[in-house]
Amino acid sequence: MDWPLQELCATIGSKIPGFSAEVLPSIDSTNSELMRRSKNGFLEPLLLIAEEQTAGKGRLGRVWYANPGDCLTFSIGLNLSIQDWSGFSLAVGLGILQALDPYQHYGVGLKWPNDLWLGLGDPHTARKLGGILIESAVSTAPSVAGPYSRYCVIGVGINLVAPRGVDLKRAAAGLCDVDPKSRPASVLLSAVPGIIEGVMRFQEGGFSSFKQEYSAYDILFNQQVTMSNGVVGRACGVNSRGELLIQTSAGVVPVISDEVSLLELGGFDTDLK
């Protein structure tokens, strides 16, 4: 496959010195590979693309299902100095969404805390399009020396074609459903600069600067939801830290890391990456 590596490196390199890109024909997981490299002392800013992932992963150890050629899978390793990481995955999601669907022609939305969905405005028919997995390790890179320095790995999976032959509680979506011309290279060329822009904004001002934007793409807003701890309520947006707010019979509850499913749809696999 012809990947636009030179163009991406030129674009991102002007903002992040030393940024490079690499394509692997096959790897277990781009996130796992970058985390392994970081443990061996490699802390350079790098975009790692996999033409095939054999053991893609998501939150809570779940699996990301993808047939070769049907899904774009990549990870970006960056040295960052951020005091409060709350809402970081939401900012990354916004960067991708606004790059892929800037005029909302396709109805791409976000499901807290780290999913891209297709079908904004109608949660009954909305389907998962992609996922984000953030991992990090303490960074010793001199460029970000300080108490909040981390080598952050941002893993992304975006379906071009919806997964087939996979037993999901709710069918997933593919970008080709709404844009038949979508190809891994063209989607990458849009998504990566969007992520970098979101990361740089977050590093400057945290999630509070994204809160209003997020509300426009919130799949869960005003929907009945259930949390993994059994609490049921209505989603009412997020706060300035990116925590999901649930209106329950006992009042508004902020959610930090619980699993959340749409109650009236019976729940479904929302955290496969």
Q: Taking the domains of the chain in order of start, what are their residue ranges?
A: 5-213, 224-265
pLDDT in tens, 70-98: 999 999 999 999 999 999 999 999 999 99
CA Rg value for the chain: 18
At residue 271 the predicted structure's pLDDT band, cuts being 50, 70 and 90, is very low
Q: Is the pLDDT of residue 177 over 80?
A: yes
At residue 265 the predicted structure's pLDDT band, cuts being 50, 70 and 90, is very low
Same topology, domains 5-213 and 224-265? Answer is no
| Alpha helices (H) in the chain, listed in sequence order | 5-13, 30-39, 88-100, 184-205, 211-215
Cβ neighbours for 122, distance < 8 A, ≥ 6 positions apart:
none
Q: Is the pLDDT of residue 210 over 80?
A: yes
**Per-residue pLDDT, 152:** 97
**Per-residue pLDDT, 187:** 97
* pTM score of the predicted model: 0.91
CATH class for the domain made up of 224-265: mainly beta
Where is pLDDT greater, at 258 or 114?
114
At residue 229 the predicted structure's pLDDT band, cuts being 50, 70 and 90, is confident
What average pLDDT score do residues 212-229 get? 92
User: Closest by alpha carbon to 134, among 114, 116, 148, 117?
Assistant: 114
**Per-residue pLDDT, 78:** 97
Where is pLDDT greater, at 166 or 236?
236
Cis peptide before 25 (omega within 30 of 0): no
Strand order, beta sheet including 224-227:
251-255, 244-248, 232-238, 224-227, 260-262
d(CA 44, CA 197): 18
Q: Which numeric CATH code is attached to 5-213?
A: 3.30.930.10
> Could you tell me the two tokens for 160?
């071009």
Q: Across all residues in the chain, what is the average pLDDT?
A: 88
